[in-house]
Amino acid sequence: MGQNKIAQIDLNDVPEVYHNLKYNDGEIYFADNITSIPGLMKQFKVNFIAYVMVTEGRLLLNLNGVNYQLDKNSSLFVDRKMVVDNVKHTERFSCLICAMSTDVGFGFFNKSLLQSIMHIMANPVIKLGQDEVDLMLKYYELLAFKMDHPEMNFGRETVRDIIRCFAYDLLSNINKHMNQDGSEDMLRQGDRVFRKFMLLLAENSNMNRSVKSYADELCVSPKYLTSVCRKHSDYTASELIATSVISRIKQLLLYSDLSIKEVAAEMGFDNLSFFGKYVKKHLGLSPNNYRKQNGYGK
């Protein structure tokens, strides 16, 4: 099948193809099975980040041309733009699924966690111990309880805190199973540059928005950095920087008590007008309207 014929599934398509979501806030989705998803056996490409943990049975699939088998307690990470094909599962099968947008992922993961994720992508199937699986299930049960008792739910950020802790503990457990010795030395130059660039984004405390400054720090040209980013992510370096910056801006606008002017200063914008134009360009709304539309303070 030609690349242009592969079905594309965006995050906003998820509620349309799967109606039994346990949690859905437009950027993060949780579900507990895939057997009822129509068209699952067809080839498709995902435009989001996904995590699958098998809790019963066996799952077989092809990911970017490589066949994988997931038995009980196995976990699978699917990065955006990965092509999924030939999905099969045993008759008695269940799993947990978490899918999230790329910019939410930027907001969740610090430098050490992002480094773990990049290692996982090279070998996306991890076998967890029973205690580790039990911990993940406890998080899922807590999330389900919050959804079933809205009177005890104090806003979307409390749910995201649960998911953030889920991600931190999951990646911490996975670190125990990874052998990273020498893996960096075996990477090609472009792979190393992209990894280092992503780590710089994750630790970017002053929210630098200049491609040239990142390229200078990596000792490459801006053109080469952009070429590497396109090859590894389908995004330009500028687009990845903007995704990282906007993720932080969204967090500050929705979950902090900072004024718009203070958020702009925190993000390194000297000009409030330019900050407003930057936010509107990427979010479609002014900073103030974005706060109002997304229930700031609730």
pLDDT in tens, 177-206: 655 444 444 457 777 788 788 878 877 655
Q: Torsion angle of alpha carbons 279, 281, 284, 288, nearest 10°?
A: 30
Q: Which band of pLDDT confidence, cut at 50, 70 and 90, is reported for residue 225?
A: very high
CATH 1.10.3720.10 fits 189-293, yes or no: no
Output the pTM of the full model: 0.62
| Whether pLDDT at 298 is above 70 | no
| Whether pLDDT at 69 is above 80 | yes
Determine the pLDDT at residue 234: 72
The CATH superfamily of 3-175 is Regulatory protein AraC (2.60.120.280)
Of all residues in the chain, the percent with pLDDT exceeding 70 is 77
Determine the pLDDT at residue 17: 64
| Whether pLDDT at 62 is above 60 | yes
The whole-angstrom separation of Cα 9 and Cα 63 is 15
Mean pLDDT taken over the chain: 78
Determine the pLDDT at residue 205: 55
Domain ranges of the chain: 3-175, 189-293
